[in-house]
Amino acid sequence: MVKYFTSIVIVLLIIINSAWAQLPPVFSAERSREATTTSTTRRYLSPEKILWKTPNADINIVNEKRLVQAGNGQADLSNANMCVLKSSKDLHPALLLDFGKELQGGLQLITGMYPNHKPVRLRLRFGESVSEAMSDVEPIHNATNDHAMRDMIVEVPWLGKLEVGNTGFRFVRIDLIDDNIELQLKEVRAIFNFRDIPYVGSFHSSDSLLNKIWLTGAYTVHLNMQDYLWDGIKRDRLVWMGDMHPETSTIAAVFGNNPVVPKSLDLARNITPLPNYMNGMVPYSMWWIIIQHDWYMHNGDLVYLKEQKDYLKGLLNLLMSKIDKNNSEQLEGGRFLDWPSSEDPKAIHAGLQALLVMTLNAGKELSLILKDQETAKNCEKAVNRLKKNVPDPGQSKQAAALLAISGLMPAQQVNKEVIGVDGVKNFSTFYGYYMLQAKAKAGDYQGSLDAIREFWGAMIKLGATTFWEDFNMDWLPNAGRIDQLVPEGKKDIHSSYGAYCYIGFRLSLCHGWAAGPTPWLTEHVLGIKVMAPGCKEIKIEPHLGDLKFAEGTFPTPFGILKVKHTKLTNGHIKSEISAPKGVKIIH
């Protein structure tokens, strides 16, 4: 019998392996990546504090401090040390919990033995800010359940456990709904879903604010590395290809090679047959090419790159066909840079002209690697044509940044006449990364550090633990913090601002496209720039500005690169570099 059973198992394994072997090469590779990317884990976190409870409800809320104690996720028969909520006809008690930082996940509730053995109804409200957790779903301040449920009514069991929710949040409000009900709560814990991966890259300098900004950008992207690489964990839980470039740049600087990137790139490709454009916007298909180039430079995965050859060639030919006789881009479809520039056709044209140059330059390099000489030559010819037509960006910092990065306009001129005007006024969270890159190309490293401190630092000073979908310096006067109940006379910054698709509470306070300072600080302050595919050559050229020192690490396929730069009394920089074997350092 044992031999018979073993023979059946062997035959089944042979059949399964044979079927797997029949899969097309690309599909097999994608299935392999799929198998390795279901790697999110969960941790349970008790709240750090109780920020608010129903006023004048001392007899209705007893022992709420129990909830900030560590739990074990298990109901038990001792029924000891419970938090008790009791409602009446006129009073329905509620608590507001603060879990200390932005999280992706849900909530676990452990109940005790209350008198009524029936399930008890609760209203749960998740919020990225205190005011969002205290809000109702309504059109005035635009609190919604779009993409993820953040306001819901649930039933908890008697002497049991309920796990519910899948959204981005830091704060949770719990309301007892029905009259004359008692609920005993043993624990209320956040379910934190994340990829349990090390922060291989690091940044530490003489400026604690810059250190915090670097880490906040890294954490913002880390939260969005779920089954796919999302843009936001509350809203925009989607693969937005253009928005991904600051994220993939951050991943390369912090985590190194991670399968969530190719999995997300492949999703965008697979659901976008040519001649369609990714996410319905022509520049997002261009960003796909740029990301493919940058990802290959960091990881040197030629096997993966070869899987893109046919689609890449078709997309490049499609884009090159959209250049008119005046050497001007005539890209149809969704014409978009970022939301703040979306009502300026002149800026969009200038930005797309520059972005097309950046795309075709990246496409040329990839085509040469893939031994597609014809496409590489066509890309070079198209770029030479585009360089003959340099549109005016007006005062758009978005368009001007791309013109500088692409080389269509001198970076110093762009920085002086557009990007550097009025400091960080008209910066944006997404294209702020490219504004910083353009300033660096102009040699304005000190101006970049000042901009990072002022713009991204302002979010941190308002209580942010992740960077936001949108932010404007005009919001700051008299603004309340997002981690407090808004005091009388202060502005509620979350409910009062935002535009386009992110008005009021719909505004995401954890958006991966806002993480640009993290890769920027690694590239320009630590001075780490990849010069050859797979990090085989890395140039080290630090720019400390007003910093006394900066040190950090960088993940490569060969191991961890370590650098430390110290400014000497004569102004010169002393660099200590430790590179793994296989990485050539240019210094």
Q: What is the pLDDT of residues 76-101, one digit of tens each?
A: 999 999 999 999 999 999 999 999 99
Q: How many CB atoms lie within 10 A of CB 548?
A: 11
Residue 267 pLDDT greater than 80, yes or no: yes
Distance of alpha carbon 573 from alpha carbon 544, whole angstroms:
8
Sign of the C-alpha dihedral computed for residues 395, 214, 456 and 262 taken in this order? positive
Residue 474 pLDDT greater than 50, yes or no: yes
Of 554 and 1, the one with more pLDDT = 554
The Cα-based distances of 148 to 96, 163, 298 in angstroms read 20, 15, 34
pLDDT at residue 7 in the model? 44
The structure's pTM equals 0.92
Summarised one tens digit per residue, pLDDT across range 132-157 is: 999 999 888 889 999 999 999 999 99
pLDDT at residue 140 in the model? 86
Share of the chain above pLDDT 70, in %: 94
What's the pLDDT band for 218 if we cut at 50, 70, 90? very high
Q: Which of 33-42, 66-75, 220-229 has the lowest mean pLDDT?
A: 33-42
Residue 192 pLDDT greater than 90, yes or no: yes
Q: What is the pLDDT averaged over residues 535-542?
A: 98
Query: Can you identify the CATH homologous superfamily of domain 43-194?
Result: Galactose-binding domain-like (2.60.120.260)
Q: What is the pLDDT averaged over residues 120-143?
A: 95
pLDDT at residue 490 in the model? 96
Q: What are phi and psi of 41, to 5 degrees?
A: -120, 175
Q: How many CB atoms lie within 10 A of CB 384?
A: 12
Residue type, 579: A
What's the pLDDT band for 22 if we cut at 50, 70, 90? very low
pLDDT at residue 5 in the model? 39
Q: Is the peptide bond before 517 cis (omega within 30 degrees of 0)?
A: no
What's the pLDDT band for 37 if we cut at 50, 70, 90? very low
Sheet-wide strand order for 573-578: 202-205, 549-556, 559-567, 573-578
**Which CATH code for domain 202-469+508-533?**
1.50.10.10
Closest CA to 432 of 324, 337, 540, 574: 337
112: exposed, middle or buried (Cβ count in 10 Å: 0-12, 13-18, 19+): buried
Helix 244-254 and helix 432-441: axis angle, to 10°? 70
- 301 close to 294: Cβ distance less than 8 angstroms: no
Q: Quick one: tokens of 72? A: 């074990």
Summarised one tens digit per residue, pLDDT across range 155-176 is: 999 999 999 999 999 999 999 9
Q: What is the pLDDT averaged over residues 51-72?
A: 96
> For the chain, how far is it from start to end, CA to CA, in angstroms?
69
Residue 13 pLDDT greater than 70, yes or no: no
Q: What is the pLDDT averaged over residues 333-337?
A: 92
pLDDT at residue 4 in the model? 40
Q: What is the pLDDT averaged over residues 222-226?
A: 98
What's the pLDDT band for 38 if we cut at 50, 70, 90? low
The whole-chain average pLDDT of the chain stands at 93
Q: Quick one: tokens of 118? A: 């029936």
Maximum distance among all Cα pairs of the chain, rounded to whole angstroms: 84
Q: What is the pLDDT averaged over residues 356-370?
A: 98
Residue 36 pLDDT greater than 70, yes or no: no
Summarised one tens digit per residue, pLDDT across range 486-525 is: 999 999 999 999 999 899 999 999 999 999 999 999 999 9
Q: What are phi and psi of 500, to 5 degrees?
A: 55, -120
pLDDT at residue 333 in the model? 86
Closest CA to 128 of 110, 152, 144: 144
Domain boundary assignment for the chain: 43-194, 202-469+508-533
What's the pLDDT band for 538 if we cut at 50, 70, 90? very high
Distance of alpha carbon 356 from alpha carbon 454, whole angstroms:
31
